[in-house]
Structure 1
Amino acid sequence: MISNEFDDIRPYEAEEMKQAFDDLLSDRQFNIIMKGFTPWLPKLLRNGLLRLAFTGIKTPLDFQKRFMKPVVNYIIRKHTDGCFFDYSQMPTDKQQPRFTFISNHRDIVLDSAFLDVKLIEAGYPTTVEIGIGDNLLIYPWIKRLVRMNKAFTVRRGLTPKEMLRSSQLMSSYIHYAVQQKRENIWIAQREGRAKDSSDHTQEAVLKMLAMGGDLRELNIVPLTISYEFDPCDYLKAQEFQQKRDNPAFKKSKQDDLDNMKTGIFGYKGRVTYHCGKPINEWIDELEGLSKQEYYAALCQRMDQAIHQGYTLYPSNYVALDLLNGDTAQASHYNEADRQRFEQYLAKQLAKIHIPNKDEAFLREKMLIMYANPVKNKMTAL
């Protein structure tokens, strides 16, 4: 049984799953959501079918395989042109170590969900536990569902003193999960998504992970997520203008939900997950550095690994040329690729409806999002 010191943040344990599922089915808002998927089914029959499907589920991993894997595979079929997993630099023994995947951040829901499915398909024995900000757990049913789905809670909006305590607890839990529970962990390299898609690791993330013990215990793997098209690109561009026009602008909870929905159900083109070498293969090279130099060097090496792992698509190269007003990258795309991206860009920009819409500014911001992975990979190589 897990130590109760982690009760406030951890996912559900096996013995808690049935009660959590019963509570989920009793939740009024959850039932409204489910009715939207199956409006032709009476509530009693719908819940009865869900209970029948839940039969035999003992653990969160069982729940993921039974309920979440088919949903994620549906999203891959319906809203991508394929999701590919390159784990060629990972250890060949899939049964032994558990890993902490630190990745760039493209989608709050799907980053780890796609990884879960790909790990199971590749023959790994389990999926990942993920950290999810409590700012997104705005309804009780969402909190229950993510805890059933192997999520632990990251507390947001804390005072510096509370943040220190929260970080220590979360770090201790992550070390416990990898070493004792034998779970994988997924965590983003920074808090929140890089709106301009220039992905850089925050030292604070690595320092937090080190609070609970030696980083080597976590078997950290740099992970690169590459989208051909980011369905939230226009929302990010819109937010850039809103913050430019009003520095005090802050997204609402509804904005967060709209971003989640767009990220899940928007078109992504091709998606690739690339695992770099586990950092245990090179972290000893940083021994002897001062603490300040150590974390700066570690971030730099993590960024280099993540940037080298980008899969670049024609859209990335076209964006860089459009941004620079030249054809320096023309060997990486053809005229059809260019036209397709221009049409895509126009369609996404047309979705933005804000006062004093600045087309030139918004277009430039979107081009930067697609060009930055090319720039970063060139630098890393």
Structure 2
Amino acid sequence: MNIPEKFDSIRPFEPEELPEVYDRLLQNGQFCQVVKYFYPQVPLEMVARKMKGCKSSLEFQLAFCYDIIKNLLEKASLGCDFNSSVLDVTRRFTFISNHRDIVLDSAILDVLLFDAGFKTTCEIAIGDNLLSLPWVKDLVRVNKSFIVERDLPMREMLMASRRLSEYMHFVIGEKNDNVWIAQREGRAKDSNDRTQEAVLKMMTMGGTGSLADRLVQLHLVPLSISYEFDPCDYLKAKEFQQRRDIVGWKKGPQDDLVSMQTGIMGFKGHIHYHAAPCIDDFLRSLDPDLPKNDFYRVVAEHIDQEIHRNYRLYPVNYLAMDLLAANHEHAAYYSEADKAQFEQYLAAQMAKIDLENKDEAFLRERMLTMYANPAINHLAAQ
């Protein structure tokens, strides 16, 4: 396929580039350690041979990533299911979802799409802030990721956003592949999931016609991701206190790596993915004379409504709401055993927070809020 050169620095690798990238990865000590972790019984030469036999990124995903994610879900979850009943598997979509886990949100979706009968997975939007290690950047581009450039001067930022948008349109329109993108930059630390209008504005920098036409060309599908437990909840709570107490506190690259590792390996309980109908018809129904700002607001609200409506709630979500409000309003949705278990879980997660002036009450409130917000939003969307 003839891919415009302007996308070279952000797109996934093409088949002809893979042999050289495989060699680069196999010469990297850290990458080889990761391989050893996932394949403790398999000699590196055998893994190398299998890698070199993968002639495309999709083949690489099916040869390696598919089984790794399946095994991971077996160990670190109580099962994962996907309601994709409204999707036509012969079409291509841009999945726009709430964002819980740096790595797994899109990785699990790839597995679920394939299991649902799609003949391809997703190209994944990933921020360059997570790619400080060259081998990680290589690996994600082998794994069908394209790069979202961040922290650029204003003029460069505009150019980068336009290129990103044009690339997404190219993936859907020309490459005939799916796209996954989070509804906002970074994860919603308090699980109050809201679509950033800036993400929609970026999407309309590519394509042709009216703003609605440009979004229709991407075939947006709001996707709800519900994890029963968030292994990073205590890290997020800790971050809230650091931001509160330390002027100008910023995460370091090490923090993202710890979050990635904790999110991948940590226990997630039940996991549910739910695809809402593609919003093409909704976009076509909008008043063509809607002012620009109103257009983005209305579309963001519609996506949020769909994501919130399709959350799967667990006893912990109702419990967190009641514990925050100090009442028993939703007691029909959980048992005393659920409550005792959740209190035990919270205590264990809180104990992992290593801060000098640990504010227990504040940290507990932050953790409860993370579990309550999906329920508050779901009930509002009903």
TM-score (norm 1): 0.96
**Alignment partners' CA distance in 2, 1:23 and 1:80:** 33
Q: Secondary structure at the residue paired with 2:129?
A: helix
Task: Pick the aligned partner of 2:86 from 70, 86, 89.
Answer: 89
- The number of residue pairs the alignment matches comes to 374
Residue 210 of structure 2 corresponds to which residue in structure 1? Answer: none
Q: What amino acid sits opposite 1:300 in the alignment?
A: E
**Alignment partners' CA distance in 2, 1:293 and 1:52:** 54
Q: Alpha-carbon deviation of 1:130?
A: 0.6
Q: Secondary structure at the residue paired with 1:180?
A: helix
Equivalences for residues 289-300 of structure 1 within 5 A? 289-300=290-301
Q: Alpha-carbon deviation of 1:372?
A: 0.5
Equivalences for residues 41-190 of structure 1 within 5 A? 46-91=43-88, 94-95=89-90, 97-190=91-184
Q: What amino acid sits opposite 1:59 in the alignment?
A: S
Q: Secondary structure at the residue paired with 2:204?
A: helix
Residue 275 of structure 1 corresponds to which residue in structure 2? Answer: 275
Tell whether the 8 Å contact from 1:286 to 1:297 is kept in structure 2 after alignment: no
Q: What amino acid sits opposite 2:362 in the alignment?
A: F
Q: What amino acid sits opposite 1:130 in the alignment?
A: I
Q: Which runs of 5+ in 1 are unaligned?
A: none
Deviations 1:290-322 (A, max 9, x none): 111111111111110010010000000000000
Q: Secondary structure at the residue paired with 2:294?
A: helix
Tell whether the 8 Å contact from 1:315 to 1:337 is kept in structure 2 after alignment: yes
Q: Report whether the alignment pairs 1:197 with 2:191.
A: yes
Deviations 1:353-375 (A, max 9, x none): 10110000000000000000111
Q: Alpha-carbon deviation of 1:39?
A: 6.8
**Alignment partners' CA distance in 2, 1:116 and 1:40:** 26
Deviations 1:253-278 (A, max 9, x none): 11110000000000000010000010
Q: Secondary structure at the residue paired with 1:286?
A: coil
Q: Alpha-carbon deviation of 1:34?
A: 3.5
Q: Alpha-carbon deviation of 1:99?
A: 0.3
Q: Secondary structure at the residue paired with 2:175?
A: coil
Q: What amino acid sits opposite 1:98 in the alignment?
A: R
Residue 19 of structure 1 corresponds to which residue in structure 2? Answer: 20
Deviates more, 1:10-19 or 1:267-276: 10-19
Tell whether the 8 Å contact from 1:87 to 1:274 is kept in structure 2 after alignment: yes
Q: Secondary structure at the residue paired with 2:74?
A: helix
**Alignment partners' CA distance in 1, 2:38 and 2:15:** 28
Q: What amino acid sits opposite 1:232 in the alignment?
A: C
Q: Secondary structure at the residue paired with 1:272?
A: strand
Q: Alpha-carbon deviation of 1:192?
A: 0.5
Q: Alpha-carbon deviation of 1:89?
A: 2.1
**Alignment partners' CA distance in 1, 2:177 and 2:347:** 43
Q: Alpha-carbon deviation of 1:33?
A: 3.6
Q: Alpha-carbon deviation of 1:20?
A: 1.1
Deviations 1:36-64 (A, max 9, x none): 556787xxxx3311122225311100000
Q: What amino acid sits opposite 1:87 in the alignment?
A: S
Cα distance 1:56–1:28, how it changes in 2: closer, same or farther (>3 A)? closer
**Alignment partners' CA distance in 2, 1:140 and 1:245:** 33
Tell whether the 8 Å contact from 2:123 to 2:178 is kept in structure 1 after alignment: yes
Q: Alpha-carbon deviation of 1:279?
A: 0.4
Residue 216 of structure 1 corresponds to which residue in structure 2? Answer: 216
Q: Alpha-carbon deviation of 1:247?
A: 2.8
Q: Alpha-carbon deviation of 1:135?
A: 1.1
Residue 366 of structure 2 corresponds to which residue in structure 1? Answer: 365
Q: Report whether the alignment pairs 1:236 with 2:233.
A: no
Percent identity at matched positions? 52
Q: What amino acid sits opposite 2:268 in the alignment?
A: K
Tell whether the 8 Å contact from 1:120 to 1:126 is kept in structure 2 after alignment: yes
Cα distance 1:123–1:77, how it changes in 2: closer, same or farther (>3 A)? same
**Alignment partners' CA distance in 1, 2:39 and 2:306:** 44
Q: What amino acid sits opposite 2:348 in the alignment?
A: K
Residue 319 of structure 2 corresponds to which residue in structure 1? Answer: 318
